[in-house]
Structure 1
Amino acid sequence: MDRARARQILFACASGLLLPFCFPKFDFGALAWVALVPLHLTLDHIPKRRAFWLGWLTGTIGFTGIMAWVVTAMTTYGKVPLPISYAILLLLTAYLGVYVGLYSLSVVWLRDLIPRYGILLAPCFWVSLELLRTYFLSGLPWCLLGYSQYRRIEIIQIADHFGVYGVSFLIVLVNLALAELISWMMPFFRGFRPARLPWELATTAVLLVTLSWHYGSWVTSEAPFSDIPRSTITVGVVQPNIDQAVKWDLAFRDETMARFDRLTDQLGSGMDLVVWPEAATPFVLERERDYQLQLAAWAARAQAPILLGSPALRFYSDRRPYLLNSAYLLTPEGQVLGRYDKHHLVPFGEYIPLKSSVLFFLDKLVEGIGDFEAGPGSTVLSFAPKSADGPARPVKFGVAICYEVIFPDLVRRFATNGAEFLVTITNDGWFGNSSAPAQHFAMVVLRSVENHLAFARSANTGISGFIDPFGRILDSSALFTEAALQARLTAWQPHTFYTRHGDVFAYGCVLICALLCLFGLFRTKEPAHGTTAITPA
Structure 2
Amino acid sequence: MYRWPVRSIVLAVASGLLLPFCFPKFDIGLLAWVALIPLHLALDSPSKWRAFRLGWLSGTIGFTGIMAWVVTAMHTYGKVPLLVAYAVLLLLTSYLGLFVALYSAGYVWFRSLIPRYGLFVAPCLWVTLELARTYLFSGLPWSLLGYSQYRQLDVIQIADHLGVYGVSFLLVLVNVAIAELIAWLMPLFRGFVPARLPWELVTTAAILLGLSWAYSTSLIVGEGFQTPKTSLRVGVVQPNVDQSIKWDPAHRDDTLLRYDRLTDTLGGGADLVVWPEAATPFFFEREPEYQLRVLAIANRASAPLLFGSPAVRFDNERRPYLLNSAYLVAPGGTLLGRYDKQHLVPFGEYIPLKSSLLFFLDKLVEGIGDFQAGPGPTVFSFMPRQAQAAGEGDGGRPVKFGVLICYEVIFPDLVRRFAQNGAEFLVTITNDAWFGESSAPMQHFSMVVFRSVENHLAFARAANTGVSGFIDPFGRILDTSPIFTQTAMQAAVPVLQPHTFYSRHGDVFAYGCVLICAVLCLFGLFRTEGPEPDAIAATPV
TM class by shorter chain equals over 0.9
Check whether the contact 1:295–1:334 (CA below 8 A) recurs between aligned residues: no
Amino acid at match of 1:117: Y
Give the direction of change, closer, same or farther, for the CA distance of 1:242–1:523 in structure 2 (3 Å limit): same
Q: How does 1:145-160 map to 2 (within 5 A)?
A: 145-160=145-160
Amino acid at match of 2:383: A
Amino acid at match of 1:347: P
Check whether the contact 1:238–1:263 (CA below 8 A) recurs between aligned residues: yes
Check whether the contact 2:55–2:101 (CA below 8 A) recurs between aligned residues: yes
Are 1:382 and 2:386 counterparts?
no
Aligned to 2:254: 255
Q: How does 1:351-390 map to 2 (within 5 A)?
A: 351-387=350-386
How far apart are 1:252 and its partner, in Å? Answer: 1.0
Check whether the contact 1:378–1:413 (CA below 8 A) recurs between aligned residues: yes
Aligned to 2:538: none
Are 1:408 and 2:407 counterparts?
no
Q: Provide the C-alpha distance between the structure 2 equivalents of 1:374 and 1:83, rounded to a whole number of angstroms.
A: 32
Q: How does 1:63-462 map to 2 (within 5 A)?
A: 63-187=63-187, 194-223=194-223, 231-387=230-386, 392-462=396-466
Check whether the contact 1:185–1:194 (CA below 8 A) recurs between aligned residues: no
| Deviations, residues 113-137 of structure 1 (Å, cap 9, x unaligned) | 0000011111000000000000000
Aligned to 1:482: 486
Q: Provide the C-alpha distance between the structure 2 equivalents of 1:344 and 1:56, rounded to a whole number of angstroms.
A: 28
Q: TM-score, normalised by structure 1?
A: 0.95
Aligned to 1:29: 29
How far apart are 1:148 and its partner, in Å? Answer: 0.1
SS in structure 1 opposite 2:336?
strand
| Deviations, residues 211-242 of structure 1 (Å, cap 9, x unaligned) | 0000001111244999x995211100000000
Amino acid at match of 1:70: V
SS in structure 1 opposite 2:269?
coil
How far apart are 1:366 and its partner, in Å? Answer: 2.0
SS in structure 2 opposite 1:372?
coil
Check whether the contact 1:454–1:491 (CA below 8 A) recurs between aligned residues: yes
Give the direction of change, closer, same or farther, for the CA distance of 1:293–1:193 in structure 2 (3 Å limit): closer
SS in structure 2 opposite 1:471?
coil
Check whether the contact 1:386–1:392 (CA below 8 A) recurs between aligned residues: no
Aligned to 1:519: 523
Q: Provide the C-alpha distance between the structure 2 equivalents of 1:339 and 1:36, rounded to a whole number of angstroms.
A: 44
SS in structure 2 opposite 1:374?
coil
Flag structure 1 segments of 5+ consecutive residues without an equivalent: 527-537
How far apart are 1:65 and its partner, in Å? Answer: 0.3
Aligned to 2:7: 7
Check whether the contact 1:60–1:93 (CA below 8 A) recurs between aligned residues: yes
Give the direction of change, closer, same or farther, for the CA distance of 1:320–1:524 in structure 2 (3 Å limit): same
| Deviations, residues 266-305 of structure 1 (Å, cap 9, x unaligned) | 0011110000000000000001111121111111111100
Amino acid at match of 1:218: S
| Deviations, residues 376-411 of structure 1 (Å, cap 9, x unaligned) | 111111111013889621100000000000000000
Aligned to 2:511: 507
SS in structure 1 opposite 2:34?
helix
Amino acid at match of 2:240: N
Q: How does 1:39-54 map to 2 (within 5 A)?
A: 39-54=39-54
How far apart are 1:318 and its partner, in Å? Answer: 1.6
Check whether the contact 2:224–2:474 (CA below 8 A) recurs between aligned residues: no
Check whether the contact 1:405–1:444 (CA below 8 A) recurs between aligned residues: yes
Check whether the contact 1:225–1:494 (CA below 8 A) recurs between aligned residues: no
Amino acid at match of 1:322: Y
Give the direction of change, closer, same or farther, for the CA distance of 1:350–1:193 in structure 2 (3 Å limit): closer
State, as a whole percentage, how many aligned pairs show the same letter.
73
SS in structure 2 opposite 1:312?
strand
Give the direction of change, closer, same or farther, for the CA distance of 1:81–1:223 in structure 2 (3 Å limit): closer
Q: Provide the C-alpha distance between the structure 1 equivalents of 2:191 and 2:109, rounded to a whole number of angstroms.
A: 29
Check whether the contact 2:183–2:189 (CA below 8 A) recurs between aligned residues: no
Check whether the contact 1:161–1:498 (CA below 8 A) recurs between aligned residues: yes
How far apart are 1:189 and its partner, in Å? Answer: 11
Q: Provide the C-alpha distance between the structure 1 equivalents of 2:190 and 2:263, rounded to a whole number of angstroms.
A: 68
Comparing 459-468 and 282-291, the one that deviates more: 282-291
Q: Provide the C-alpha distance between the structure 1 equivalents of 2:6 and 2:265, rounded to a whole number of angstroms.
A: 60
SS in structure 2 opposite 1:373?
coil
SS in structure 2 opposite 1:492?
coil
Check whether the contact 1:399–1:423 (CA below 8 A) recurs between aligned residues: yes
Give the direction of change, closer, same or farther, for the CA distance of 1:235–1:72 in structure 2 (3 Å limit): same
Q: Provide the C-alpha distance between the structure 2 equivalents of 1:136 and 1:479, rounded to a whole number of angstroms.
A: 31
Amino acid at match of 1:120: F
Aligned to 1:59: 59
| Deviations, residues 143-189 of structure 1 (Å, cap 9, x unaligned) | 00000000000100000000000000000000000100000001399
How many equivalent pairs are there?
525
Are 1:497 and 2:501 counterparts?
yes
Q: Provide the C-alpha distance between the structure 2 equivalents of 1:239 and 1:363, rounded to a whole number of angstroms.
A: 28
SS in structure 2 opposite 1:448?
helix
How far apart are 1:361 and its partner, in Å? Answer: 1.9
How far apart are 1:7 and its partner, in Å? Answer: 0.5
Check whether the contact 1:396–1:418 (CA below 8 A) recurs between aligned residues: yes
Aligned to 1:532: none
TM-align CA RMSD: 2.0
Q: Provide the C-alpha distance between the structure 2 equivalents of 1:121 and 1:47, rounded to a whole number of angstroms.
A: 18
Q: Provide the C-alpha distance between the structure 1 equivalents of 2:61 and 2:249, rounded to a whole number of angstroms.
A: 42
Give the direction of change, closer, same or farther, for the CA distance of 1:302–1:512 in structure 2 (3 Å limit): same
Q: Provide the C-alpha distance between the structure 2 equivalents of 1:391 and 1:293, rounded to a whole number of angstroms.
A: 31
Give the direction of change, closer, same or farther, for the CA distance of 1:118–1:391 in structure 2 (3 Å limit): closer
Amino acid at match of 2:446: A
Q: TM-score, normalised by structure 2?
A: 0.94
SS in structure 2 opposite 1:518?
helix
Amino acid at match of 2:330: T
Q: Provide the C-alpha distance between the structure 1 equivalents of 2:245 and 2:224, rounded to a whole number of angstroms.
A: 49
